[in-house]
Structure 1
Amino acid sequence: MATDLTEPRTAARLDVAPIQRRTMRLLVTTQIIGGIGVTIGISVGALLAARVAGTALAGIAQSAGVVGAALLAVPVTRIMARHGRRPGLVLAYTVGAVGGVLVVLAAATRSVPLLLLGMLLFGGGTAANLQARYTAVDLAEPARRGRQLSLIVWATTIGAVAAPNFAALADRVTTGWGLPALAGPFAFSAAAFVLAAAVLLGLLRPDPLLTARRLAAADAASVPDGPGPVAAVPPGGAAAATAPTAGTAGSPAGGGVGPAAAPVGARAPRGAGMRAAWSVVRAQPAARLGIAAVAVGHLVMVAVMAMTPVRLGESHADADVLRLVGIVLSLHIAGMYAFSPLVGWLTDRLGRRAVILGGVGLLLAACAVAGTAGHHTPRLSVGLVLLGLGWSGTMVAGSTLLSESVSADVRPSVQGFSDLIMGLAGAGAAVLSGFVMQVAGYPVLTLLAAVATVPLVALALRPVPTGAPGEED
């Protein structure tokens, strides 16, 4: 950086914009690459697991990837808290690449333990893609946090929507190389993760989280001691790190959270772990709602999506099922990511809580449509699109609400805690989905997924005391 961060605040502010633009361009690029890696493997994961381990264990194998992403969030965010975003993202993608290689070996040897280990580590790719959305917020202007976070979510669309349709091609190519059927997509996933890690390692400089912390420290040093609101808010993380009270000025329309949402009491020591993160979340109603929205939305999405390829396999021959899975999952992923910029705009415009409730409504509609579709593939596809849209609403609004509800020093740990809870919720859903599918069928599975949204609705509709930190007035 050309400007010393100990210079006056206006100089530091001028230097942030080009750093944020460069960071956003880089994150968009790696999200495309990582999206290809994650989705091309997920699109055939349930089918490969069913062939190696059986249908009942297919859900466990799928959940291993979700558990892996959740568990990796702990060391990844600990590294981020101490050393910045770049080494944490690189580690996550590298672990995902190792997992992809192990899945290929498991398919060749028909080893169930090796398959589960490979899927567990494969979750590193998902962990990296999820943490990238938080990286976009570190230096974002308060009024644009929802939009910039959603842009990174949207970037995954470019690779993720196309990836399932490449699965059949990848499978044909690698079968010619001697790899087992359905293993080839995971080899392509491993290569994509390695490429994403290399790009981030070389180009994510300066680190956005470390830059936000320096800005916060410089801003705090320039603010006189004493009560009262902060006079000016620097971009991104500095706002929450220096605000002594909940902000009300500049709150998003519709009662969203203002730019200075985190009180001093939300701070935690640098590098704080999950226990400290939980203590911060427990004290912040807005943070609790953000985590609940992300976790429940992901639980419903994983439960229904994970068994959809198996549902299609019940009524279509092997020759057609991969093609249909590719089409249906592409539509589903388009619903997840393609409209996320609009979701981000609505999050900034209408408020976080309103978009969370809208996302829940879409999830309920998705369960109703998919659960009553029978073997009618077009109707099932509509249900999966609605499922993706509902996930987008809860993910974007919930992540934005969480990020702005805590200070910069504890933010990575709290975000990692959120991804841990989200991953465990999704993993539990994936495990149970296989058994529910086998015992009761797909319609019952969608009904149970709909019931799971009830606690989130109750939390989102809970009256909030006027002036509560991080909440709307």
Structure 2
Amino acid sequence: MDGARPAAGAVRHAPPPEAARVQRRTMTVLTVMQAIGTVGVGIAPSIGVLLAGEVTGSDAWAGLARTASILGAALLGLPLGNLAARYGRRAALTAGWWTAAVGSALLVAAAQADLVVPLFLGLLSIGAGTAVSLQARFAATDLAAPQHAGRSLAQVVWAGTIGSVLGPSLGAPGRFVGDLVGLNVYAGAFLIATVCLAVAGLIVFAWLRPDPLRLRERYAAPTPAPPGKASGRIRPMLAELGGNPVARFAVIAILTAHGVMLGVMTATPVHLAHHGGSITMIGITISLHVLGMFAFSPVVGHLADRLGPRRTIAAGTWILVASLVIGAIRPADTAWIVVSLFLLGLGWSFVTVAASAEFGSAVSGEARASAQGGVDALSNLCGAVAALAAGPALSVTGFSGLSVLAIAALVPLLILTARKRARGSG
């Protein structure tokens, strides 16, 4: 199994009672934070897109709105990772949630007064919530025992199911709140999101003590820095990847799965609408996709701990391939597209949970938070590029062609995984 190799920067001298106590407290705070904060984040790809259409009167601008929030997560992921490296998880997570809350407040104004500039500034800023919800999964592993890293990370990912399901459904509560305070439905929905994001930041600020990353660094085994490592925004991550093949493989897996998933998922509602799919059916399809992404993450984390990250990544990659094969051969069958999107989310979960656990255990203590922030930034950047490219690809090749292109994007990861297995690395 993969766990035979000692983790770089692994906790070794922490008194077991203290480490276990702090980890339990950390997991409670992160789980509650994630469940509340992702409600605010989950509004962007659904109600945010609708709001962009209302404010701009353009379908093209509405499509760019989703990319704006993903791009915001990409731009803010690395600075928030560097903030964690310098001041700890508490500072970074608090800053991220409160930045997202400010962005959501801008969207309240944009919705109420039809303002274009606050619309896109708000969507970019709300991407900070996505960035810190991703950083939270790494925070869950800071003090986790090596044999439990996968399930600790998966618990935080699973908590995001709540926000991913409730966030897109804030329309009805938004109408109720809007009627109470004199706002329209979109402004009311983003007012709820603002409160959720602000509360998530408050929970971290008040209760994430002691800081798990600071405590990990206190008791971690010292790790020599790779040649050429220097401080800065991007250089620690690049130096880490250049000298750490385990971390490099994990990053390739994360980026590939995220890009493939977002590209296909972004194109699916358009494809279904062109084939006469109702709004209800499109909503069900995306909801089941989200279910596949998050609901089974505890099981995936357990498998990653038990079977090893490499085997779990391999399984997830083949699930992604199966999803895309269905999309390629049955593009006009709505029932099969629903199955395809569910498997797309499930495959993403397998790869992302296992590869994130692998990366978290392989990266050195000195570069840990900065490198993790860099990976999240690259992941969201890949997602933004894939989401932008999905529309033109769908227009030119159709859903079958898009699925084939996505399979082609998975081929390098399949080859790398096969080589790792052939070398006996799990």
TM-score normalised by structure 2 residue count: 0.88
Deviations 1:123-178 (A, max 9, x none): 111011100000011001011111111111111123323433x2341353356466
Percent of residue pairs bearing the same amino acid type: 39
List aligned pairs for 1:50-199, cutoff 5 A: 50-51=53-54, 52=56, 54-164=58-168, 166-173=169-176, 176=179, 179=183, 182=186, 184-199=188-203
Q: Quick check: 1:28–1:155 contact (8 Å CA) kept in 2?
A: yes
Q: Quick check: 1:59–1:430 contact (8 Å CA) kept in 2?
A: no
Match of 1:357 in 2: 314
Cα gap change, 1:11 to 1:54, in 2 (>3 Å): closer
Match of 1:426 in 2: 383
Match of 1:224 in 2: none
Q: Write the distance in 2 (CA, Å) between the matches of 1:172 and 1:137.
A: 39
Local SS of the residue matching 2:197: helix
Q: Quick check: 1:46–1:62 contact (8 Å CA) kept in 2?
A: yes
Match of 1:237 in 2: none
Q: Write the distance in 1 (CA, Å) between the matches of 2:366 and 2:239.
A: 14
Q: Write the distance in 1 (CA, Å) between the matches of 2:91 and 2:155.
A: 22
Alignment partner of 2:262 out of 284, 287, 302: 302
List aligned pairs for 1:23-422, cutoff 5 A: 23-51=26-54, 52=56, 54-164=58-168, 166-173=169-176, 176=179, 179=183, 182=186, 184-216=188-220, 241-242=221-222, 264-266=224-226, 272-314=232-274, 321=279, 323-374=280-331, 376-422=333-379
Aligned-residue RMSD, C-alpha: 2.7
Q: Quick check: 1:32–1:157 contact (8 Å CA) kept in 2?
A: yes
Local SS of the residue matching 1:14: helix
Q: Write the distance in 2 (CA, Å) between the matches of 1:387 and 1:332.
A: 7
Q: Quick check: 1:58–1:434 contact (8 Å CA) kept in 2?
A: no
Cα gap change, 1:59 to 1:292, in 2 (>3 Å): farther
Local SS of the residue matching 2:15: helix
User: Residue 299 of structure 1: CA displacement?
Assistant: 0.6
Cα gap change, 1:49 to 1:137, in 2 (>3 Å): same
Q: Quick check: 2:171–2:185 contact (8 Å CA) kept in 1?
A: no
Q: Quick check: 1:43–1:325 contact (8 Å CA) kept in 2?
A: no
User: Residue 293 of structure 1: CA displacement?
Assistant: 0.9
Cα gap change, 1:30 to 1:78, in 2 (>3 Å): same
Q: Which moved more, 1:37-46 or 1:366-375?
A: 366-375
In the alignment, residue 386 of structure 1 is paired with which amino acid? L
Q: Write the distance in 1 (CA, Å) between the matches of 2:252 and 2:274.
A: 34
In the alignment, residue 311 of structure 2 is paired with which amino acid? A
In the alignment, residue 472 of structure 1 is paired with which amino acid? S
Deviations 1:70-98 (A, max 9, x none): 11112111111111000100111111112
Answering whether residue 18 of structure 2 is matched by residue 15 of structure 1, we say yes
Q: Which moved more, 1:52-61 or 1:333-342?
A: 52-61
User: Residue 308 of structure 1: CA displacement?
Assistant: 2.9
User: Residue 417 of structure 1: CA displacement?
Assistant: 1.2
Q: Where does the alignment leave 5 or more consecutive residues of structure 1 unmatched? A: 1-8, 217-240, 243-262
Q: Which moved more, 1:131-140 or 1:301-310?
A: 301-310
Q: Write the distance in 1 (CA, Å) between the matches of 2:70 and 2:401.
A: 22
Q: Write the distance in 2 (CA, Å) between the matches of 1:375 and 1:162.
A: 29
Q: Write the distance in 1 (CA, Å) between the matches of 2:254 and 2:350.
A: 9
Q: Write the distance in 1 (CA, Å) between the matches of 2:216 and 2:197.
A: 27
In the alignment, residue 192 of structure 1 is paired with which amino acid? C
Q: Write the distance in 2 (CA, Å) between the matches of 1:62 and 1:169.
A: 21
TM-score normalised by structure 1 residue count: 0.80
User: Residue 385 of structure 1: CA displacement?
Assistant: 1.1
Q: Quick check: 1:359–1:392 contact (8 Å CA) kept in 2?
A: yes
Greater share of helix residues, 1 or 2?
2
User: Residue 113 of structure 1: CA displacement?
Assistant: 4.2
Q: Which has the larger radius of gyration?
A: 1
Local SS of the residue matching 2:42: helix
Local SS of the residue matching 1:264: coil
Q: Quick check: 2:158–2:298 contact (8 Å CA) kept in 1?
A: yes
Q: Write the distance in 1 (CA, Å) between the matches of 2:273 and 2:161.
A: 25
Local SS of the residue matching 1:409: coil
User: Residue 438 of structure 1: CA displacement?
Assistant: 4.3
Q: Write the distance in 2 (CA, Å) between the matches of 1:18 and 1:433.
A: 46
Match of 1:247 in 2: none
In the alignment, residue 86 of structure 2 is paired with which amino acid? R
Residues paired across the two proteins, number: 413
List aligned pairs for 1:453-464, cutoff 5 A: 453-463=410-420
Q: Write the distance in 2 (CA, Å) between the matches of 1:55 and 1:439.
A: 18
Q: Which moved more, 1:444-453 or 1:124-133?
A: 444-453
Cα gap change, 1:433 to 1:180, in 2 (>3 Å): farther
Match of 1:435 in 2: 392
Deviations 1:17-72 (A, max 9, x none): 01100100111111111222222332333444445363344443211111111111
Q: Quick check: 2:174–2:188 contact (8 Å CA) kept in 1?
A: yes
Q: Quick check: 1:33–1:159 contact (8 Å CA) kept in 2?
A: yes
Match of 1:233 in 2: none
Match of 2:425 in 1: 472
In the alignment, residue 40 of structure 2 is paired with which amino acid? G
Local SS of the residue matching 1:450: helix
User: Residue 404 of structure 1: CA displacement?
Assistant: 1.1
Q: Quick check: 2:175–2:184 contact (8 Å CA) kept in 1?
A: no
Cα gap change, 1:124 to 1:169, in 2 (>3 Å): same
